[in-house]
Structures are given as C-alpha cells and as structure tokens.
Amino acid sequence: MIWKPPERIRHQLPEPNWPTRQEAAASRLFSPLDFGNLRLRERTWVPAMVPWRATEDGYVTPEIIDWYERFARGFPGGLVVEATGIRDVPSGPLLRIGHGRFLRGLRELTNTIHSTSEGRSRLFIQLIDFLAVRRRPEPDTYFSRYLVLTEAHRKWLENHLDRELADDEQVRQAFKELDPDLYPEVLTRRELESLKYGYRERVTDMDLPHIRDLPRVLPDLFADAAARARDAGFDGVELHFAHAYTMASFLSTRNNRDDGYGGSRKGRLRLALEILQRVRQKAGKDFVVGCRYLSEEIIEGGSTVEDAAYYGVELARAGMDFLSLSRGGKFEDAAQPKIGAAVYPYTGRSGYECMPTAISDAQGPFGRNVEPVAHIARSIRDAGLATPVVVSGGIATFDQAEAILQRGEADVIGSARQSLADPDWYAKMRLGFGDDIRRCIFTNYCEGLDQMHKQVTCQLWDRYALSSPHARRSKDGKRRLTAPEWDSSEELEEL
Ligand SMILES: Cc1cc2nc3c(=O)[nH]c(=O)nc-3n(C[C@H](O)[C@H](O)[C@H](O)COP(=O)(O)O)c2cc1C
Ligand code: SF4
C-alpha cells in the first residue's frame, strides 16, 4: 500500500500556456547558467531516475545507453545518470562504479550521450552509498535464524510459560508458538521492526564495526568513484545525500552518533564536508561536484527546512558546484512490505512528498518543494554565495518553471517524471511546439515499476508499443523501453 493524502482530491493538470519560440528565447529557463565549474546551456535538468536496466552485476547495458540517449535527444541543460553504487559489492541490478572494470561500459555511455547532444547537455552521474536492508522474513524463519537471543527474552518467556527453557532451541520454539499480540512485550522495538519490516541497518548502529567506520571509509569510496566518473568522461558527479540512503541519514536530525559525526547540525554535516574535500582532491578542482539532499525529511523528528538551509550555506561555502533539492523519501514511515519483500522508502507520507501524485490534498502535487527550496536558496544568497540551486517536484509547465526562476526561488528546473513522459519536452518548449508535449499525468505507474525493480517505462508510451516495430520491448514484451519518437528532425536541427 502506498500512502495517499486522506483528502484524496483529484487535481487536473494546470493549463499550460506554452511559450512561442520567441518567448522561449527571451525566457530565463532557456538562458545559460555559468557558475564556477558548472556551465549549462539552459536551466533545464533531468534529475536522476533509476530505470532498472543494468546487468545483475551492475554493468551498463545497451538498454541503459538507449535510455539516456533518448533523454539527450531532448537536449536538457543537465542530465543526471541514475543512482550508481560506489562500493565493489554485489548490489543486484543497480548500476555500479565501484571498480575500474565498470569504466568500459560507462565510457560507452558518456561517448554516446556527448555525441548525441553535441555538447549541449552536461552529463552527471549520481553517486550513492546505502546500508543493508533485508527482506521481511517469515516469522518462523525470523525466530529460528535471525533473532539474536538475549537473557531478557529467555526470562520473559520462562515467566510467561511458567517453566524453564533448557536451551536456545527451546527458546526459539517458544517464540514460534507465542501469540503475536504478545511480541511487543518481549521484543525490543528494533527486533519487532526487523520481524515486521525486515532488518535494516542505521548509521547509528555504533555496535557494528563497519557502521562505526563509515566516516573513515566513505570519503575515499566517494572520491574514488568520482575520479572514475571523470575518467569515464562524465562532466561531473552528484553526490547522493538525499532520501533514505547513508549520507541522508548522517544529515538527519535523527542521527545521534556520539563520535563527532552526529548530534549537532555541525556534527551531522561533518562527513558530507569531508567527502566533498576528498572528492575534490581526487577528482580535481575543475570537475563539477554537486550534491542532492533534502529540503525536508517529513518524518517524525526529522530534519526541517532550517536544517537544510544551514546545510545549504555550509555546502555552498565549502565549494559545491550545485545543490539539488529533493524532499522526503524515507524508510522511517514506509509501508510494511509483504513477507519476502524489502521495505521501500517511497511508500509512506515522506515518499508521497518526494513524488506526489494527481490524487492529493488541497495543495496538490505541483511544486510542493518550491517554498522550502526558495527559503534555502535565500539563505545561501543572504550568506553572499551564488551556488546554483536545482529544484524538482511536480514541475511540468513553462509558466511554473519560468516563474520560479524569475522570482529567484531556484536557478535550475528539474523535471523527472515530465521528462520521462516526454524526453523532448524541453526541446519542444524551446522551439515553440508546446502543444506537442506528451504531458505526465502524475499517476506514478513508473514509480510502481521502480518499486518492483522492473524496467521503468511510462504508461503514456505503452500504447505506442505495437505501432513501432523499432522500439526495444520490456522483458514481458508488452511495453516500449524508450519514449516514442518526436517526428521533428528538422526542428531539432535548429536547436
Ligand atoms: C522511476 C524513478 C526513479 C527515480 N530514481 C531516483 C534516483 O535514482 N535518485 C534520485 O535522487 N531520485 C530518484 N527519483 C526521484 C526523482 O529524481 C524526482 O526527485 C522525483 O520524481 C520528483 O520530481 P518530479 O515531480 O519532477 O518527478 C526517481 C523517480 C522516479 C519516478
Ligand atoms: S508513468 Fe505516469 S507518472 Fe510516470 S511519467 Fe508516465 S505519466 Fe508520468
């Protein structure tokens, strides 16, 4: 079950009022941005989206190249390649950059995109680290294999059963026979969570040596990955400090580590700054290094926009080339997965805030992130810093994008799902063909596929599947793997 606002108001798409070619040419959206290492030909941006097309061991596939090539043909100012794992460990079909052997495929990807865009789009790759998340177990399996038995468990069960339990085997058997309503009385909150949701590591698990060591190992892991990204021909990297992953958890107000990397705002930010410093050392001063982080976590006791403003100022001061702001997308409020499935961070309220749908509350799904991002951008400017801020979240018309830029609420407009629905949409606006735009209807069909780790497609493309024999098909043969073509090669020549 994915969380939806209880109001369940169905919102229509806003009237688009697409620009003429002249209006587009005079707009801020289609004006260049030039800041430090970051040079964009226009202020349009395709944020990271995992399409689940890598091999089982994390290599680039022809389908990945097709996917990004299709976006590049819409000539966005910035195009961010999906969250890519920085460690050399099995990560399922997540794209990886944790070893030199991944470079060949990544090089092929950058070569293709650069030649398709002819230098008009800057290509970045999002670098991610994440902690272990296990599938929700069968209760019997949990009690026989995973639960670490303690004296407290034994005592409680013996007391409850009014008999002695001779060994661990008997304790485990007693657990299996226990009325589930009594689990909260005998299990700790964490144990209960592992049973109901699957075991999940936290950055605050200081009893685990590899978690305690994160501040020691992460700077080099990110820096080596960034150096590889440079080698592979990317124009820059986006450090993934957002959503449910390791670095977002360091920034979270829920991070109470007592080793200098938690607690106060300064402590929570420390590792992010150390990573940036090491990335600069290894990838070079002239390489674009930005990050994505959260304007608000939107979970109980989570970071607020004031935390994000502080982080924004300090990250800008430390030399980030851009700051891309997302929101929500956390594990803490995620829905309970089915037995055998893993908890997914976009199923709770915070997940809704990250990718809001057309069925919403009174505020609606469009531009929910703009107000907090404007506050963060203002704080950065008030500190005398000009670091570009990328905003995303339900931005899908020219008027909306242009107004955000004109009011100075952000410097670059990120549109993920609208770009997925129609990768040519920026080019169509720029050339005065707004009426040809295939508009995202914000149903999150794409996100449902993402959740199941199935090849992501847009429901609006699928109806073109049979009429287009050239399109690669999904594994079940029913869906196109890339968006239908825009029959406009002549217009695109003029871009
Ligand atoms: C299929 C899919 C995959 C996504 N993968 C990522 C990702 O790898 N990294 C990330 O930071 N955000 C990811 N996102 C979130 C988007 O980048 C974006 O923040 C979100 O969709 C809200 O923007 P939108 O309203 O323009 O779609 C993903 C979104 C979708 C729909
Ligand atoms: S599947 Fe739905 S939400 Fe996703 S891009 Fe297509 S129209 Fe938009």
Q: Are 396 and 440 in contact (CB under 8 A)?
A: yes
How far is it, in rounded angstroms, from Cα 424 to Cα 148?
Answer: 53
Q: Which is the closest atom of ligand 2 to the Cα of 441?
A: 7
Question: What predicted TM-score, i.e. pTM, was given to this entire model?
Answer: 0.96
Mutate to test the pocket of ligand 1, among 2, 44, 49 (most ligand atoms within 8 A of CB): 49
Nearest ligand, CA of residue 397? 1
Please, which residues have CB within 8 angstroms of residue 26's CB and are 6 or more apart in sequence? none
Residue type, 45: W
pLDDT of residue 488: 72
Q: Are 44 and 54 in contact (CB under 8 A)?
A: no
Angular region, 18: left φ>0, alpha ψ -120 to 50, beta rest: beta
Domains and CATH numbers, the chain: 9-131+217-493 (3.20.20.70), 139-197 (no CATH)
Q: Which secondary structure element, helix H or strand E, spans residue 279, and what is its range?
A: helix 265-283
Q: Are 79 and 40 in contact (CB under 8 A)?
A: no
pLDDT of residue 492: 65
Question: Ligand 2 pocket: which residues have CB below 6 Å?
Answer: 417, 420-421, 440-446, 458-460
Helix (H, G, I), strand (E, B) or coil at 374: helix
Q: Whose CA is nearest to atom 8 of ligand 2?
A: 440
Please, which residues have CB within 8 angstroms of residue 207's CB and are 6 or more apart in sequence? none
Per-residue pLDDT tens digits of the chain, which is 495 residues long: 789 999 999 999 999 999 999 999 999 999 999 999 999 999 999 999 999 999 999 999 999 999 999 999 999 999 999 999 999 999 989 999 999 999 999 999 999 999 999 999 999 999 999 999 999 999 999 999 999 999 999 999 999 999 999 999 999 999 999 999 999 999 999 999 999 999 999 999 999 999 999 999 999 999 999 999 999 999 999 999 999 999 999 999 999 999 999 999 999 999 999 999 999 999 999 999 999 999 999 999 999 999 999 999 999 999 999 999 999 999 999 999 999 999 999 999 999 999 999 999 999 999 999 999 999 999 999 999 999 999 999 999 999 999 999 999 999 999 999 999 999 999 999 999 999 999 999 999 999 999 999 999 999 997 775 566 667 788 888 888 999 988 775 666 666
What are the phi and psi torsion angles at 111 (to 5°)? Answer: -60, -45
Nearest ligand, CA of residue 483? 2
Mutate to test the pocket of ligand 2, among 352, 359, 366, 443 (most ligand atoms within 8 A of CB): 443
Question: Ligand 1 pocket: which residues have CB below 6 Å?
Answer: 47-50, 82-83, 126, 240, 242, 292, 326, 354-355, 392-395, 415-418, 446-447, 450, 456
> If you measure from the C-alpha of residue 138 to the centroid of ligand 2, how many angstroms do you get, rounded to a whole number?
34
pLDDT of residue 489: 59
Q: Are 102 and 58 in contact (CB under 8 A)?
A: yes
Mutate to test the pocket of ligand 1, among 350, 355, 404, 442 (most ligand atoms within 8 A of CB): 355
How far is it, in rounded angstroms, from Cα 422 to Cα 334?
Answer: 29
pLDDT of residue 160: 97
